[in-house]
């Protein structure tokens, strides 16, 4: 049985883009590609938690980041991911200029739409990885 692709959103708590990144990861792992992906808690990876690192090490992973600091991508790379595919929510927002995401704990409707758009882009990446069959 194939290992699921690890997905980690940034834990951004200061901006709605961080919240959208988190919501996008839930949409991807629970709604769009539940059979192919698995959410990994960034906090566990920060602490080098063994089981969490096993989910990541040596495989391809998807980072969904809210800002340019790219915490999720960096932490996945530090955790041994063979390749980190990046989804930058601020870039997704540029492609959906009409959206005005607001809120952190409770995203507004535009924030939810942005999360959905980011999740759909991430799903495309997951399908690409799956298509290559390169994931151990």
Partner 1 sequence: MPDLPRKKVGLIACSGEERAEGTVTRRAVRQVLEKLRPDDTVTLCLPLFLAGGEGERAFARRYPTIAVDGCDERCAARATERYSARPAASIVVTEIAKESGSPDIGTARRLNGSGLRLADTAAARIAGETDRLLQRPRRRITEPAAAAGGCSCGSGLPQGTLRISGSDVRVAGLPIIFAQARERGLEPNAGTAAVLLETVGIYNEVPADRKQAWTDALIQGYAGFLEEKG
**Smallest separation, CB 82 to partner 1 (Å):** 19
By beta-carbon proximity to partner 1, the closer residue of 7 and 92 is 7
CA angle centred on 132, ends 6 and 51, rounded to 5°: 20
Residue in 4, 6, 12, 89 binding partner 1, rule: CB under 8 A: 12
Q: Binders of partner 1 among 74-133, rule CB under 8 A?
A: 74-75, 78, 104-105
By beta-carbon proximity to partner 1, the closer residue of 31 and 134 is 31
Phi, psi of 77, rounded to the nearest 5 degrees:
-65, -45
Query: What is the 8-class DSSP label of residue 34?
Result: T
Does 43 interact with partner 1 (rule: CB under 8 A)?
A: yes
DSSP 87-131: EEHHHHHHHSTT-----SSS--HHHHHHHHHHHHHHHHHHHHHHH
Name the residue among 118, 134, 131 with its Cα closest to residue 12.
118
Residue in 3, 15, 86, 96 binding partner 1, rule: CB under 8 A: 15
**Rule CB under 8 A: which residues touch partner 1?**
8-15, 22-23, 25-26, 30, 39-47, 49, 67, 69-72, 74-75, 78, 104-105
């Amino acid at each position: 049985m194939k290992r699921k692709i690890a997905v980690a959103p940034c834990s951004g708590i200061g901006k709605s883009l961080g919240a959208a990144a988190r919501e996008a990861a839930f949409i991807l792992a629970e709604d769009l590609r539940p059979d192919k992906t698995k959410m990994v808690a960034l906090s566990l990876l920060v602490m080098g938690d063994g089981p969490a690192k096993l989910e990541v090490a040596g495989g391809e992973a998807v980072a969904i980041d809210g800002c340019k600091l790219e915490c999720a991508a960096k932490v996945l790379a530090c955790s041994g991911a063979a390749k980190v595919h990046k989804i930058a929510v601020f870039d997704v927002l540029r492609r959906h200029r009409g959206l005005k995401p607001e809120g952190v704990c409770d995203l507004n409707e535009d924030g939810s739409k942005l999360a959905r758009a980011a999740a759909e882009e991430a799903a495309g990446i997951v399908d690409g990885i799956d298509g290559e069959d390169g994931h151990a």
